[in-house]
Amino acid sequence: MPGPQKLNAAERVQALEERLQLRLARPELGHAALTHKSYVNEHRDEGLPDNERLEFLGDAVIDLAVSHRLMERYPSANEGELTKRRALIVNEEGLARVARTLRLGELLLLGRGEQRTGGSDRASLLADAMEAVIAAVYLGGGLPEVLKLVDLHFADAFVDLAEGRHGLDYKTLLQEEIHARLKLSPRYLLVSESGPEHAKQFEVEVTIGSNLYARAVGRNKKEAEQAAARATLAMLRAAAEAASGEQPAGEAAPALSEGGPATPVKGLGGVGPEE
C-alpha cells in the first residue's frame, strides 16, 4: 500500500479499518470522517463533504458509549460521579491520545496550510476527527460497533480511571515523595531535541542525588518531564515492593540515596509520553 499521503479513497478507508480493527459498513462515511474542511475548501471541484457534521454526531455518540460502559463498571456510582468519570475519559486530550495511537493524523486529508502548521498532530483537530470516525462507525453499525471501538481503543483510559491515574501531575508526586524521604529535589535535564518544527521529539532524563533513574520522550519538554517522572515513580514503587520481600532472586532494586554509584537507567529508549 502506498504511503498515507498517496492513498486513494478506498485505500485510505481500508487503512482506517485496519487500525480500528473494525469493518465500516458505510466506507464513504469513513472517508468523510478523514476529510477536513481545509481540504474541501481547496478542492471544491471534487465535491467532497467535510467531517464537521460527523464530528457533531460523534461528540454525542462517544458520550453515550462511554456512559454505557461506566454504568456497567460502577453500578453504585451516582450521576455526579459518573459525569466526572466520563469527563476524565471523553475530553480533547483523551480523544487526541486515542487518535495518535491509531496514527489517525497521517490518514487525514488536510489543506496545505493545515499541513504546513502541523495540523495532523494538533490535539483539537485530532479530537474532532476521532469524533467523526466514531460517528461513521455508529451510522454504519449502531451502538454495538461503537462499544467495540471503545473496548478496543479506550481500554487504557478506563484502566487509568480505575487506578486513579487521570490528571495526575507526576512531577509533583515525585517531588513530594523524594523530598519526604531525602530532602532532595529531582533534577530534569533535556538530553536531546529532534524532528521537524511541527513534530519535534524531546528527550529528558531525571536524576535524584547522583543517581540517573529514567529517560523519556515527549512532544514537548513538559510532556517528556512528566513521562520521566512517571517512569521514576514506577521504578521506586517496584523497588519498595522488592525490598518488602517480593524481589525476584538475582535482581537489584534501584537504590534511593544521595550518593554512591549511579542507578542503571530503566526503560532507556522505551519510555514514551504518558498514554
Higher local confidence (pLDDT), 21 or 173: 21
Q: Please report the pLDDT score of residue 252 as a whole number.
A: 36
Strand order across the 187-194 sheet? 187-194, 201-208, 211-218
Encoded amino acid at 150, one letter: V
Rounded CA-CA distance 174/216 in Å is 15
Rounded CA-CA distance 50/235 in Å is 46
Cβ burial of 37 (10 Å; 0-12, 13-18, 19+) is: middle
Average pLDDT over residues 142-167: 88
Q: Which domains does the chain have, with CATH numbers?
A: 4-162 (1.10.1520.10), 170-246 (3.30.160.20)
Q: Please report the pLDDT score of residue 244 as a whole number.
A: 67
Q: Is 131 a catalytic residue?
A: yes
Catalytic residue, chosen from 42, 52, 59, 121, is 59
pLDDT band at 165 (very low <50, low <70, confident <90, very high): low
Catalytic residue, chosen from 131, 160, 205, 225, is 131
Rounded CA-CA distance 8/31 in Å is 10
CB distance 34 to 103 below 8 Å: no
DSSP string of the chain, one letter each residue:
---GGG--HHHHHHHHHHHHTS--SSHHHHHHHTB-HHHHHH-GGG----SHHHHHHHHHHHHHHHHHHHHHH-TT--HHHHHHHHHHHSSHHHHHHHHHHTTGGGG-B--HHHHHTTGGG-HHHHHHHHHHHHHHHHHHHHHHHHHHHHHHHSHHHHHHHHTT-TT--HHHHHHHHHHHHHS---EEEEEEEES-GGG-EEEEEEEETTEEEEEEEESSHHHHHHHHHHHHHHHHHHHHHIIIIIPPTTPPPPP--SSSSPPPPTTTTT--S--
Q: Please report the pLDDT score of residue 50 as a whole number.
A: 96
Q: Is 169 a catalytic residue?
A: no
Average pLDDT over residues 116-141: 94
Please write the tens of the pLDDT for every residue from 248-273.
433 333 444 433 323 334 433 333 43
Q: Residue 172 pLDDT > 80, yes or no? A: no
Q: Please report the pLDDT score of residue 168 as a whole number.
A: 59
Rounded CA-CA distance 257/182 in Å is 8
Q: Please report the pLDDT score of residue 254 as a whole number.
A: 44
Please write the tens of the pLDDT for every residue from 201-243.
899 999 998 889 899 988 888 888 888 988 898 888 777 777 7
Please write the tens of the pLDDT for every residue from 45-86.
889 999 999 999 999 999 999 999 999 999 999 998 899 899
Please write the tens of the pLDDT for every residue from 86-123.
998 998 888 998 999 999 999 999 999 999 988 898 88
pLDDT band at 177 (very low <50, low <70, confident <90, very high): confident
Mean pLDDT of the chain: 84
The two beta strands, 187-194 and 211-218, are: unpaired
